[in-house]
Chain A
Amino acid sequence: MTARWLREIVEFNNKTSTVMTTTEDPSSISDIHVDNIGDFTFPERNKFDSGFGISSKTVDYICDVKSDPQWIRDFRHKALDVFNSKPMPTHWATKDLENIKFDQFRYYLSDGQKPKKSWDDVPDDVKRTFDRLGIPEQERKFLAGVEAQYDSEAAYSNIKAVVEEQGVIFANSTEALHKYPDIFRPWFGKVIPTGDNKFSALNSAVFSGGSFIYVPKGVKVKHPLQAYFRINSEQFGQFERTLIIADEGAELMYMEGCTAPKFETATLHSAVVELVAMKGAKIQYVTVQNWSSNVFNLVTKRGIAHEEAEVKWIDCNIGSRLTMKYPGVVMKGRKARGEVISIALANSGQHQDTGAKMIHAADETTSNVISKSISIGEGRATYRGLVHIPKHLKGCKNNTECDALLINTKSRTDTYPAISVRGNQHATQHEASVSQVSAEQIFYMQQRGLSEGEAMSLSVNGFINDLASQFPMEYSVELKRLIDLEMEGSVG
């Protein structure tokens, strides 16, 4: 009975996979109505056919479509070579990666594929999910792929105006590299070099979409920025590339994703997110993602924190077949601070391989990692972490806590931290625990009239409550409802 609705989503995806995509937006800068190299010769016939596989031709094609400047074209080609030369990291990661068939994916989708569905086509179960999560009507249509674009202009235009007045640049990454090369270029690909891993190389070769944000010196952005605000642009690309720069003393909270299941036709997602916090700046990056369970979600996220700056990742991963995501912070300046708060929920058929990387590169830097994972049914949750403190530094501190909750007998959880400390002037501690929902708690609640399922939900919500409360309110409310949903049918 576990996650019936998730299975439905998969079926739903399979049924609609040829005609639907929600990731692209018709009026973006890359708005050229062809999808394939072949389109140049047979534009009519291949209009809705996107090319499969990746080669230097694919890269050239993307560059042409997006009118990339020469340096980006070179960058992409170099990245493709790196991608081809790097082996799959299966010597440490799950063998499931070998099931990714790179030649069966489309690496660039333009607006040729518009959703061809009406709200009536959306399965009742999915509608119910939206209902239960309390997703606004407008968003539901967007999420279900009925509308290709979520019109948020009315709701958020005020915030947008305020932010723009402060001098904040908020654009899509393609637009940014054309319009703001002076800010974009010096940091692009610097936090996460192309060769960081196979998937960051892939992203570097074929990236499109994603956000670019620049917050000027001393500007504190009061309202969290969301990809939603940026209408008329690509929102969630398959290979999105986000670069956020907070200049000295600036503050920003950025949110991506939402708790509602996102229907995807493309089963490989490989985003790269780079954050740069200059002296004294603060960046909080909140992600809540709920992929359908056919998706490989392989994301590289890293931030650089300069002197006294703070980079905080709040990451919530639900769904997907395999998520591999280890947000990192390079603490480059004195007293910089890095933090990762991670919640992962793995249901049957899902593997959440998440964690954190903390690279201390200056004195008196501190980092904190708190990870909570829940495995339901046959789900598998993995924590994988890295803490690195080199020897010439002093006064660095790291705290890592990982707690795992197992709901069913077939649930699985793993923890693989790696902590490397040099010198006697640092302190690190790592703790992990694994437990199941206590029978006593459940009994107590059942005695008071709750059903076993409700009791389980309450317990699980209690388990992540202290972390969920750090999310923006609407997210934490949605998260709570989502857990209730996921827990349904997991007992008995």
Chain B
Amino acid sequence: MTLTPTLSTNAPQWFNDRAATAWQTFQNLPLPGIKDEPWRYSNAKRIPLDQLKPAASPSAELKAQAIAASSELTNTSARLVFVNDTLALTETSALPAGVICLPFEQALREQSDLVQKYFMQRIMQLGSDKFAALHLAHVRAGTVVFVPKNIIVEHPIEIFHWCSGEHAAIFPHTLIITGDNAKVSVVDHFRSLGDEQGFSCAVTDLVGGPGSQLTYIACQEMSMKAQAMQLASTVAERDASVKSFQLQLGASWSRSESVSDMVGKGSRSDMLSVSLPLGEQVVDQRTLQNHKAPNTHSDLLYKNALYDKSRSIFGGLITVDESAHFTDAYQTCRNLMNSPEAEANSMPGLEINADQVKCSHGSTSGPVSDEELFYLKARGIPDHEARRLIVMGFADDVIGRIGNEEIQAMIHARVEEKFAQVN
């Protein structure tokens, strides 16, 4: 196994202990099979674990190349660039005083207690414990953000993770904690520098403190040969509102697992996603909306526009605890089928244990409506352009919910760019 981790000498003892245990856990756990319900329709064997190795330290040239390509948003309050899990750039000068925004390794040294308290404290509930353990055993790159009470970070924090080298594996981590009534947006980009096969095994911990507003955007644009995995867990405390959006454009096989726990009364979680798979890309997404307190609200909207022989897999579950009365929970997955060979699998689930609830889920799969197409063509818009408009409208419906125009425009542009590859 070439993935054997090397322990950091600078990290605190607690971290090294956990990393060592995690490595054991990773080795002990079996690879999930398609018979495991959370892996139904999917295949973990798509990750070439035997060939992967931790990404090599990048050359100065590689770093420079990455930095040059690492700018999507104009107004940011901080920017961090990692190449092969190595820090290449940090710009945090525009952050309000008191906000902590540190590269992961530095945070481990300087904010050990904070990281220890929130870092990967919960068990993945959606089938990828093995990969969470792999991440923990290897993690050294990523960002720790802490926004103290009442502080509003106006512009987003933008983070880039670049992966370079054949069979290179990166393990980016994002930990965001907001204090009471604080507000912040963070954008993560996961990309490849070349077109080699690489693997990104990312874990995200979002902790929304009471009354805070946290927006997290993950844009996955790895190379078309890569595999990408993102395990995200969200905790929303009293009256907190946490919004997470994922853009799945790259990688031959991507899997995301997103768990939102609404633990405080009145908390809210929005889970959004857009994907546009082409060729033989597979987008595998599993979600869990856990309502653990009364008066909580969750809304999930995942949309996939599928082309060629691509496949989408959506497995979602809403659970409402016995005490979580007056819950509003919604879950919608829509698949727009643009080719005779595309495949959409959806498993939208509900588990309701309380009675004063409003819950619904919906899932649809179908082609572009002939009527819509006819309407546009009747107005002189050519077929391809009409389809583009319809697909973009389909995606913008989700993108528009992010609530930050600059981020919305950036994501819209990324989707347009991907659409340009559609034949």
Contact = CB atoms under 8 A, between A and B. Distances in A.
Interface of A: 91-92, 391, 394, 404, 406-436
Given A404-B352, A410-B322, A433-B360, A423 B347 contact: no
Contact of B348 (A92, A406, A413, A415): A415
Contacts of B35: 91
Interface stretch (B206-214, B335-343, B389-397): B335-343
B398 interface: no
Nearest to B37: A92
Interface string B340-359: 11111111111111111111
B354 A409 contact: yes
B382 interface: no
B351 A411 contact: no
B408 interface: no
Nearest to B309: A391
Q: Determine the main DSSP class of A at the interface with B.
A: strand
Contact of A423 (B337, B348, B354): B337
Contacts, number: 131
Contacts of B343: 391, 420-423
A103 to B, nearest CB: 26
B401 interface: no
B274 to A, nearest CB: 18
A428 B358 contact: no
Interface of B: 35-37, 40-41, 322, 325, 335, 337-368
A436 B357 CA distance: 7
Contacts of B348: 415, 417, 430, 432
Contacts of A427: 364-367
A415 B364 CA distance: 16
B365 A436 contact: no
Contact residues of B: prevailing secondary structure:
strand
Contact of A432 (B341, B354, B357, B361): B361
Contacts of A415: 348-350, 361
Contact of A421 (B338, B355, B365): B365
Most buried by B among A407, A416, A419: A419
A424 B352 contact: no
B352 A417 contact: no
Given A91-B35, A423-B342, A430-B348, A418 B366 contact: no
A412 B352 contact: yes
Contacts of B344: 419-422
B362 A429 contact: yes
Contact of A426 (B325, B355, B356, B366): B366
A92 B349 CA distance: 13
Given A419-B347, A423-B342, A408 B365 contact: no
Q: Which 5 A-B pairs have the closest CB atoms?
A: A424-B337, A427-B366, A434-B359, A424-B367, A406-B355
B355 A91 contact: no
A432 B350 contact: yes
Contacts of A428: 363-366
Contacts of A408: 355
Given A406-B355, A428-B365, 11 more contacts: A394-B340, A404-B352, A408-B355, A414-B349, A420-B343, A420-B344, A422-B344, A424-B339, A429-B364, A433-B360, A435-B358
B362 A426 contact: no
10 contacts: A92-B37, A406-B352, A410-B322, A410-B353, A413-B351, A420-B346, A421-B365, A425-B367, A430-B348, A435-B359
A414 B350 CA distance: 5
Given A414-B349, A430-B346, A424 B362 contact: no
A431 B330 CA distance: 11
A424 B347 contact: no
Contact of A436 (B355, B360, B361): B355
B339 A412 contact: no
B416 to A, nearest CB: 21
A417 B356 contact: no
A114 B72 CA distance: 81
A431 B362 contact: yes
B350 A421 contact: no
A384 to B, nearest CB: 9
Nearest to A439: B356
B335 A421 contact: yes
Contacts of A436: 355-357
Nearest to B365: A421
Given A409-B355, A420-B344, A432 B360 contact: yes
Contacts of B364: 427-430
Contacts of B37: 91-92
Given A423-B337, A432-B350, A417 B325 contact: no
A431 B351 contact: no
Given A91-B37, A426-B337, A434-B350, A417 B363 contact: yes
A394 B368 CA distance: 14
A377 to B, nearest CB: 11
Nearest to A416: B349
Contacts of B366: 424, 426-429
A409 B358 contact: no
A422 B335 CA distance: 11
B204 to A, nearest CB: 26
B284 to A, nearest CB: 13
Given A409-B322, A412-B352, A414-B351, A419 B345 contact: yes
Contacts of A419: 344-347, 363, 365
Contacts of A414: 349-352
A168 B121 CA distance: 67
A418 B347 contact: yes
Contacts of A431: 360-362
Contacts of A420: 41, 343-346
Contacts of B353: 410-412
A291 to B, nearest CB: 24
Given A415-B361, A424-B367, A434 B346 contact: no
A342 to B, nearest CB: 16
A391 B339 CA distance: 10
A425 B360 CA distance: 26
Given A407-B355, A435-B358, A91 B347 contact: no
Contact of B340 (A391, A409, A429): A391
B360 A424 contact: no
Nearest to A406: B355
B360 A413 contact: no
B359 A423 contact: no
Nearest to A405: B355
Nearest to B351: A414
A3 to B, nearest CB: 18
A471 to B, nearest CB: 26
B171 to A, nearest CB: 29
B347 A434 contact: no
A7 B273 CA distance: 48
B325 A432 contact: no
Contacts of A426: 337, 365-367
Contacts of A430: 346, 348, 361-364
Nearest to B35: A91
Chain A CB within 10 A, most for which of B36, B335, B355, B364? B355
Most buried by A among B335, B343, B364, B365: B365
B362 A432 contact: yes
A415 B322 CA distance: 17
A46 B313 CA distance: 57
